[in-house]
Amino acid sequence: MRILIACDMEGITGVTRWEHCEPDHAEYTRFRKLMTADVNAVIEGALDAGADEIFVADGHHSGQNLLIEELDERAVYNAGTSSPWSMMNGIDGQIDAVLFVGYHAKAGSAGAILAHTWSNDVFDLRINGQSHGEFGLNTLIAGYFSVPAIFVSGDQMIAQEATAFVPGIETAVVKQANGYFSGSCLPPEQTQRLLTESARTAVRNFSQSSAPKPVKSTGPVDIAVEFTHPHMAETAARMPGAERRSGRSVGITCQDLPQAFLAFRTLCNLGK
């Protein structure tokens, strides 16, 4: 059984502020250590439940956050940018299931810690008309390869968002968000136990065929990015094939999910 652990930083144990996740800030040193500990706890649970191979995709910032010298030696670390699948670095048809660690709610979510989608320039992302955050987008990428998303950790708001899109997904809530910059955070010793137990349950359920199924999108995929400011939409709309759909939004219909994902990344790059 081959498992991909896709991790981000905003939903890691104790994270409540951007400074915790910014490499040029002194606080970052503490939180990348906690991020590594959260991931190790999930690796432990996945291996307990029968996983044979573990790949860890580092999806925050430039993908260099985990401390490889402290990472569980039984995992392979997929680090750095730019990789074809970005936050899902390593996804392919050989992976059996994906576990999301340290995820956060989508842009605009009320009462969710550091809620955003991809960057703070994105007001909303719509895929075939449905609003998604990074969890939804990356779950669809996994689904393209017929791989299910079976676990997510973060605050209670990403747990709700994930459950709404993937009913039955195993969730580990490491902090209760009280606002954008505040939460009631469980200490690492507690969250590590929780993460190991939940990951074990998720992988065990998967191996017993009782985990969620892959979320597949078939046919053309329409991507619409609503930016926070019209000037971003103005420059993003220069992408061939894209159209300005409103003052702040640009959209494009692509032949499949990989093309739509490339279009999304390109629109974000052009629009910033």
How far apart CA 83 and CA 89 sit, in angstroms, is 6
Size of the site for Zn ion (CB under 5 A): 3
Residue 138 C-beta: closest distance to Zn ion, Å = 12
Which residue's C-beta sits nearest to Zn ion? 60
For residue 170 the two structure tokens come to: 């195993």
- Cβ atoms within 10 Å, residue 201: 17
Of the pair 6, 97, the CB lying nearest Zn ion is at 6
Pick the piece of the chain touching Zn ion (CB under 5 A) from 56-64, 78-86, 157-165, 219-227. Answer: 56-64
The amino acid present at 75, given as its one-letter code, is A
For residue 246 the two structure tokens come to: 């409103």
Of the pair 64, 253, the CB lying nearest Zn ion is at 64
Residue 78 C-beta: closest distance to Zn ion, Å = 15
Residue 75 C-beta: closest distance to Zn ion, Å = 20
- Cβ atoms within 10 Å, residue 179: 11
Of the pair 32, 60, the CB lying nearest Zn ion is at 60
Three-class DSSP category at 52 = coil
Query: If DSSP states are collapsed to H, E and C, what string results for 113-169?
Result: CCCCECECCEEEEEECCEEECHHHHHHHHHHHCCCCEEEEEEEHHHHHHHHHHCCCC
Cα 224 to chain center, whole Å?
19
Of the pair 8, 96, the CB lying nearest Zn ion is at 8
Told to check if 60 binds Zn ion by CB under 5 A, we report: yes
Pick the piece of the chain touching Zn ion (CB under 5 A) from 2-10, 11-19, 122-130, 212-220. Answer: 2-10
Residue 39 C-beta: closest distance to Zn ion, Å = 14
Told to check if 134 binds Zn ion by CB under 5 A, we report: no
Residue 59 C-beta: closest distance to Zn ion, Å = 7
Pick the piece of the chain touching Zn ion (CB under 5 A) from 22-30, 41-49, 58-66, 170-178. Answer: 58-66
Of the pair 21, 221, the CB lying nearest Zn ion is at 21
Of the pair 133, 148, the CB lying nearest Zn ion is at 133
Q: Which one-letter DSSP state was computed for residue 72?
A: -
Residue 104 C-beta: closest distance to Zn ion, Å = 7
Instruction: Decide: 92 and 98 in contact? Cβ < 8 Å.
Output: no
Q: What share of the chain is helix, strand, coil (3-state, %, to 5)?
A: 35, 25, 40
Of the pair 61, 204, the CB lying nearest Zn ion is at 61
Question: Terminus-to-terminus CA distance in the chain, angstroms?
Answer: 40
Told to check if 8 binds Zn ion by CB under 5 A, we report: yes
Contacts to Zn ion by CB under 5 A: 8-9, 60
